[in-house]
Amino acid sequence: MNSITAKAPSSTANLGPGFDVFGLALDAFYDTVTLTRQKNGISIITGDSIPVSPSKNTAGLVVQYMKKKFKIKSGIQIKIKKGVPAGFGMGSSAASAAATAIAFDRLFGLKLDGNTLVECAGVGERASAGSIHYDNVSASVLGGFVIVRTKPLDVLKVLPPSDLRLVVAVPKMVVPAKKTQVSRSVVPKQIALADSVVNLSNAAAIVAGFVSKDSELIGRSIQDIIVEPARAHLIPGFNSVKKNALRAGALGVTISGAGPSVISFATKKANLAKISSAMKKGFASAKTDCTVVICKPSGGAKTI
């Protein structure tokens, strides 16, 4: 085989109380990566405004890492087509990294297990996040709902309930170049034990909700009293977006990953169009336009 293409989904990280631990693949947007054998070196082709130097590009970092780890001598051309908006908390770099890891695995017949694919894709996060965290890449590689244990890395996947629906509002705003670093810098370094108990109880209930396929339990447990309050000021109109969505029937509302997108959890029974327009109005109250996407959980990265 000379060339292979893989696509990987967008994702939401944290789901409220699961900071750096929970991820959910979303069928809202996809990145596509084609890897082609070439004589020497690593080259990157893209029509999108992303770095083309391999050591500064998410996919480039993954290829560099996997070439070294698996002693692959061949040169590789990487063609990237971005579909996931970059810098908005939708797992954009993770999607490129996941598609690259899957394409590399198939191109060289490595037959890697899920944890190893996630570890390889996680290297790409360094390009955008500045630190490696595996919540988005795990979701994008494996699909569904994921729980990330670290030291050693151990990623657990649970299939989401079929009636779970998400409404994601992506605000039209200029995000800082190092957005994830900025939004991580405001997260408290120390927390009260009582707060950690509240978040832990909600996180545990979210897991129980996914395992028992109970979307209502998931939705009402999307409550974070530690990270969300610290980051809310970075998102224009966040409190109105959240309040409006809850009034319109969302079961739970929080920041998608490091933001600034906001995500509502609901079931297919809810009036999703009403939740969408409620979120839009919330952003409009802060003079901010947004794009709203109604979506479902997605499967993981795959070759096409």
Q: What is the C-alpha to C-alpha distance for residues 49 and 56, in angstroms, rounded to an integer?
A: 13
Q: What are phi and psi of 51, to 5 degrees?
A: -60, 145
Stretch that binds ligand HSE, among 42-50, 178-186, 238-246, 292-300 (CB under 6 A): 178-186
Stretch that binds ligand HSE, among 11-19, 32-40, 142-150, 243-251 (CB under 6 A): 11-19
Find the binder of ligand HSE among 135, 214, 224, 228 (CB under 6 A).
Answer: 135
Q: What is the C-alpha to C-alpha distance for residues 138 and 91, in angstroms, rounded to an integer?
A: 10
Q: What is the C-alpha to C-alpha distance for residues 185 and 180, in angstroms, rounded to an integer?
A: 8
13 binds ligand HSE, rule: CB under 6 A: yes
- Least distance between ligand HSE and beta carbon 264 (Å): 18
224 binds ligand HSE, rule: CB under 6 A: no
* Interface with ligand HSE in residues 95-134 (CB under 6 A): 129, 133
180 binds ligand HSE, rule: CB under 6 A: yes
16 binds ligand HSE, rule: CB under 6 A: no
29 binds ligand HSE, rule: CB under 6 A: no
- Neighbouring C-beta atoms of residue 121, cutoff 10 Å: 35
155 binds ligand HSE, rule: CB under 6 A: no
Find the binder of ligand HSE among 16, 219, 257, 282 (CB under 6 A).
Answer: 257
- Least distance between ligand HSE and beta carbon 111 (Å): 28
Q: What is the C-alpha to C-alpha distance for residues 84 and 67, in angstroms, rounded to an integer?
A: 26
> Do 31 and 84 touch, CB atoms closer than 8 A?
yes
Q: What is the CA radius of gyration of the chain?
A: 19
Stretch that binds ligand HSE, among 14-22, 78-86, 213-221, 277-285 (CB under 6 A): 14-22
161 binds ligand HSE, rule: CB under 6 A: no
Look at residue 107 and give its three-state secondary structure: helix
- Least distance between ligand HSE and beta carbon 40 (Å): 33
> Do 130 and 123 touch, CB atoms closer than 8 A?
no
- Neighbouring C-beta atoms of residue 193, cutoff 10 Å: 6
> Do 264 and 215 touch, CB atoms closer than 8 A?
no
Residues in contact with ligand HSE, counted by CB under 6 A, come to a total of: 13
- Neighbouring C-beta atoms of residue 135, cutoff 10 Å: 28
Stretch that binds ligand HSE, among 25-33, 42-50, 180-188, 217-225 (CB under 6 A): 180-188
14 binds ligand HSE, rule: CB under 6 A: yes
Q: Quick one: 16 or 272, whose CB is closer to ligand HSE? A: 16
Q: What is the C-alpha to C-alpha distance for residues 17 and 142, in angstroms, rounded to an integer?
A: 21
Strand-strand pairing, 42-46 and 75-81:
parallel
Q: Would you state the structure tokens that stand for residue 303, as one six-digit string?
A: 């070759």
- Least distance between ligand HSE and beta carbon 89 (Å): 7
Find the binder of ligand HSE among 184, 203, 251, 272 (CB under 6 A).
Answer: 184
214 binds ligand HSE, rule: CB under 6 A: no
Report which residue type is found at 79: K
Binding site residues, ligand HSE, CB under 6 A: 13-14, 19-20, 129, 133, 135-136, 180, 183-184, 257-258
